[in-house]
Amino acid sequence: MKKDRSIRTDMGEEHGVSRRGFLRTVGGAAVAAVGASMIGMPTLAEAAGAGVPDSVAAERLAAEATAIRAHRMNALRRRRSMLDKLTREVFAGHLNTKFRAKSGSSGVVDLILISATDRNTRKVPGVDTFSIIFRGAHARPLEQGTYRFTHRSIGAFDLFIVPVGKDDKGLLYEAVFNRFTS
């Protein structure tokens, strides 16, 4: 004997649903609701306004979430697009020029690009692997982390750097790039 797995919505429509599908939907909604309440976000009813059915509130919130997701994806595409343009050849063309690294706690620190080295020693096709080394003043050390870099010709981009040593002229920082190309 087959069990009836249909449910009736608040609008009187009937839909078939599996137990797994139901639990995924309800479980996801519960996790989202708990997470939202923990950070002070409104409930469905509060978000949509009093007297609005939950299904309408859910549709409104889904539309807002879709718009936010699209905005974040576009921002990610722009960042990726900029990083894709940052090749070893681009950096090599700007050796011995000033880059500015900015972080919230360190302010702005001037760094000089001193090397751009190809690390694809096996010449694997479709792989772009290189490192760049910056030199900064002994008086303004930077910790390992991501900084907002600016350069007069290249523009602005975020870059993760690691302190790798020092020489008589200053402190050395390295950024390593490993990525697949088309």
Last residue of a domain, one of 17, 51, 84: 84
> If you average pLDDT over each of 5-19, 64-78, 118-132, 138-152, which comes out highest?
138-152
Residue 97 shares a structural domain with residue 161 = yes
Selection from 126, 128, 136 nearest residue 173 by Cα: 136
Count how many domains the chain has: 2
Distance CA 164, CA 161 (A): 9
Residue 174 shares a structural domain with residue 105 = yes
Domain of 17 in residue numbering reads as: 6-84
Residue 134 shares a structural domain with residue 72 = no
Residue 18 shares a structural domain with residue 66 = yes
Residue 102 shares a structural domain with residue 59 = no
pLDDT of residue 65: 76
Residue 59 shares a structural domain with residue 35 = yes
pLDDT of residue 104: 77
Residue 11 shares a structural domain with residue 79 = yes
Distance CA 105, CA 100 (A): 14
Residue 59 shares a structural domain with residue 15 = yes
Query: For 158-164, what is the mean pLDDT?
Result: 95
Residue 76 shares a structural domain with residue 93 = no
Predicted confidence (pLDDT) per residue in 20-29, tens digit? 665 566 555 5
User: How distant, in Å, are the alpha carbons of 18, 33, 34, 172 from that of 30?
Assistant: 18, 5, 6, 49
- For the chain, give the percent of residues with pLDDT over 90: 40
Residue 132 shares a structural domain with residue 160 = yes
Residue 147 has pLDDT above 60, yes or no: yes
Residue 92 shares a structural domain with residue 112 = yes
Selection from 33, 31, 53, 52 nearest residue 42 by Cα: 33
Q: Is the pTM of this model over 0.85?
A: no
Predicted confidence (pLDDT) per residue in 79-104, tens digit? 556 677 899 999 999 999 999 999 77
Burial degree of 107 (CB within 10 A; 0-12, 13-18, 19+)? exposed
Residue 134 has pLDDT above 90, yes or no: yes
